[in-house]
Structure 1
Amino acid sequence: MHLKLVKSWVGPGGGMDGVRDITNAVIDLLAFPFVAVQNAPGLPSATASVNSGILLNMGSPGVKVGMEDRDMVKVIEEDLGKYIKILLEVGVPGIILWCLEHLELKDLGRPVAFLAKMIGHRPLAVQLVGKGLLDPTRMKRLLDRSSPREVMLDVLMIVSDLARMDKGFYEYINRASLLEFFKGFLTHEDPSVRSKACSALGNMCRHSSYFYSSLARNQIIGLLIDRCSDPDKRTRKFACFAIGNAAYHNDVLYEELRRSIPLLANLLLSSEEDKTKANAAGALSNLVRNSNKLCEDIVSKGALQSLLKLVAECSVVAVNSELFPVIGRLRQSPESTIANYASVIINKVADS
């Protein structure tokens, strides 16, 4: 009701600009605890992606508090559960969704950023989805070509986080008719859009084969394979992750994924970061996990040789590593579990 009155007010602070300003001011206040906790170094909650809702981090006092006032962050962390409970009781998730309908597309950055911050907490995520976050009409508007870049990125993060959190969200993601947008995302000029699209697809294949046939029907797999040779390193990393998950649960997509084998093999021997190589190796492993359809290609395209070469190089690095003597000393640890693991590592390297 208040926003409607502000919108109809023709004086200073009224109209669409007034609606935007008051909405953003309230969101900055409500988002403060999430921003502070996410930007705290070395705390468990810092594992939450600071990239989601990044617009709220810019110029927020929560960032300064998070990075500099550990005592304050500890207090916020301890009470975050209570705070979330209050947000749920007064229906803040639904109210923010309602606000989206009263703002122009160009002004949706901060509200959507707040949705992205909230989505990392399961109770808030459940209420948001229940209140229609993934409504097809809403998603179509948010992912429109004229949508601000930060809105598009946050929506991709939201989908990715929901898919990673629980397979129960798959049905809602499916109903949102998002796959038609992924073709554009996977070939988007912005590398951040491409990488986040790959990450979201990987999480949409994380828990089950629910989306496998839809990915094939929408011709997504071929575009995903192309991203293994993307100029952007993060996109390559998440493309390997997505391909690995698309091969994990059954062999339905094996034929389409056949073309990925030489690309994955090349990544193993290139100067990629370790996580990308791990994702590529995992993807190749999953391509022989469910049937022998691709075994011949794994050998003939050089993937097996690449895997063996990588293992040999890793063994040499492990032996020569400055960490190796440390692992040796850990065999004398009073903690039996640590001592046992250290011994296993030493013995494995000795056998290789």
Structure 2
Amino acid sequence: MECPANTSSLLETRHLKKYFKVKGGLLHAVDDVNIAIPHNRTLGVVGESGCGKSTLGRTIIRLLDATDGQVLFNGEDILKYGRRKMKAMRRKMQIIFQDPYSSINPRMSVAEIIAEFMIVHNTCSSRTAAFQRAAELMDTVGLARRYANVYPHELDGGRRQRIGIARALSLDPQFIVCDEPVSALDVSIQAQILNLLMDIQEDRGLTYMFITHDLSVVKHISDEIIVMYLGQCVEQAASDELFENPMHPYTKALLSAIPEPDISMRTKEIKIIKGEITSPINPQPGCRFAARCEYAMDICREQTPPLLSPWDLRQEIEKPGGKHFVACHLYTGNGHSE
């Protein structure tokens, strides 16, 4: 799957792959993913559980070792970095984990958790300076300083997640992977955390990869969205364009399942996805969604569809609103468009 290189991108992946050895062969968790995230922008990554979105984020920042491909940060392939050079790169790339409790040390106080990275990387002149900086970060994320000596189990989920955000900011990174940072929180708290992340991005000029399964959330925060299915990117477009003009059958099904808080929408058709999920272990050529797709053709089971722009294929002028890429034989010319 090809996606054009973007010279203005802070981060870019090229043919990135992450396979896991399991009983029976190789599990293709991330399979040939090409993305580009410009400076100060947010790329949303959506898909159902098991599609590989969290693995993609962790492979990009090298919490997991890639099987193949490239991860370019400011034009340099960080997958080639040694241990010492990668440690320095950690200051520029951080992650906010899904579970704010399991991702922080329960034996450390709030101030100690936030100051830990600064002490490890020697970014402050002294421990005292690190703790002073931690207090300032607590102010930034809306966490009262009276919680500085409190332990994580004494706080609710929203405050714990603010700790995780403050810790991620402690090294002044340029890029942050937000791995479902609001999925474990109440709806009212979700809105607070999302608005906090957006305010911090505007103030600090950060670049985000926002991973979620909640399409309502991703629309609120993302500039561009990719839809993943069984390790592959099946659709990519600007946020508004994806919601107004979904093209892949899987994307259409996901969008139809979004609850509508409007009684006039009670007759809204919900596209139910039927059929068995294709095994991601040693997958055969062909579209991985074909077994569940109502539009599947013979070619769908024989050839893997490339990620292309249908308007380029039709030799038309670029569609207003930006590029829209989809991996589906309905639009490649081998099949037929709806």
**TM-score normalised according to structure 1 size:** 0.30
Structure holding more helix per residue: 1
Structure holding more strand per residue: 2
